[in-house]
Structure 1
Amino acid sequence: MTTKRITQESLKFQREPLEGCSANPVNQDDLHHWVATITGPSGSPYAGIVFTINVRYPDDYPHNALRIMFSTPIFHPNVSPQGNVQLAELEKSQWSPAFTIQTVLVSLQAMLSDPNFEEGCVLNESAARLFLEDFTGFERKARQFALTHAGQETTLRWER
């Protein structure tokens, strides 16, 4: 079921591309590892900047959530300096087999504009503190950080 579902998602993405998003398997021999991109939404400090994201499909997908990591460095409250992401839709209690790579990428774009400050969601304390205490300073730092690191990728270390 997993391979069939992943293939269907790949074909759907080709037929119905999302504006500001892309996603493809890294190679056709490993459908469980994809590389995706999202463009920062307008009105956010990330506007127009393309971020690369690594996606891992678990062996029991779609029954368990995708694993997502930013490989482009980003200064954001819900993304750790190592690229780990805290997104509600990816939590075991929130995950639904109805979610797809497309819905997750749209959620990531929304997260860039609207961070989640609920307990356990903040992975970058410095970014969260600046966002809450000096929003203009946060916007300036996040934008400069994104411009400095756009097009760069970090070495990924998947957390379990």
Structure 2
Amino acid sequence: MSLRRITRELADLQRDPFSTGPVNLASDEDPRHWVAKLDGPPTTPYENGIFAINIQFPEDYPQKPPRITFITPVFHPNVSAQGNLRMAEFEWDQWCPAITIRVLLLSIQAMLSDPILLQGCILDEEAAALFLQDKQKFDKGAREWTAMHAV
């Protein structure tokens, strides 16, 4: 089931391209490793940026969630310096096998637009503090990171 589902999802994304960027195999040798490129959401500090994301499927996908990390550095409360991200959809106890990669990528783009500031979701304390205390300074920092790393 796992490889069949992965193959079907990739074919669906390539036949009906993701509205914010392409999704492809990282290499022809590993169908469980994809790279997506997300456009930064309009009217956010990430606008005009293109963010590369690694998608690694476990052997028991879709029963377990894929591991998704940012390749492109991003200044955001829910993304660590190593590119890890924290969202309920990726937590083992919140994961639902009906969730598709298309839905996950849309969720990531929504997270870029609207950080999740709940306890346990913050991976970059500096970004979270700036977002809460000085939104203009946060936006400036996020725009600078986007210009340096994602343009």
The 5 A counterparts of 1:1-160 are: 1-150=1-150
Question: Are the equivalent residues in 2 in contact too, given 1:21–1:105 (CA < 8 A)?
Answer: no
1:15 Cα deviation after fit: 1.3
Query: What percentage of residue pairs aligned between the two structures are identical?
Result: 48
1:21 Cα deviation after fit: 2.3
Question: Are the equivalent residues in 2 in contact too, given 1:6–1:31 (CA < 8 A)?
Answer: yes
For structure 1, the 5+ residue unaligned runs are 152-160
Q: RMSD of aligned C-alpha atoms?
A: 0.9
Question: Are the equivalent residues in 1 in contact too, given 2:76–2:112 (CA < 8 A)?
Answer: yes
When the two structures are aligned, how many residues end up with a matched partner?
151
**Aligned residue identity for 2:69:** M
1:48 Cα deviation after fit: 1.9
Measured in 2, the distance between the counterparts of 1:110 and 1:51 equals 14
Q: For residues 81-123 of structure 1, give each alpha carbon's deviation from its aligned partner in whole angstroms, at most 9, with x where no partner exists.
A: 1100101111112211111111111000000011011111000
Secondary structure class of the residue paired with 2:121:
coil
Measured in 2, the distance between the counterparts of 1:13 and 1:57 equals 16
Measured in 2, the distance between the counterparts of 1:103 and 1:129 equals 28
Runs of 4+ in 1 over 4 A off after TM superposition: none
For structure 2, the 5+ residue unaligned runs are none
Q: For residues 31-80 of structure 1, give each alpha carbon's deviation from its aligned partner in whole angstroms, at most 9, with x where no partner exists.
A: 11111111111111001210000110000000000101101000000000
TM-score normalized with structure 1 length: 0.91
Measured in 1, the distance between the counterparts of 2:95 and 2:110 equals 17
Measured in 2, the distance between the counterparts of 1:34 and 1:14 equals 12
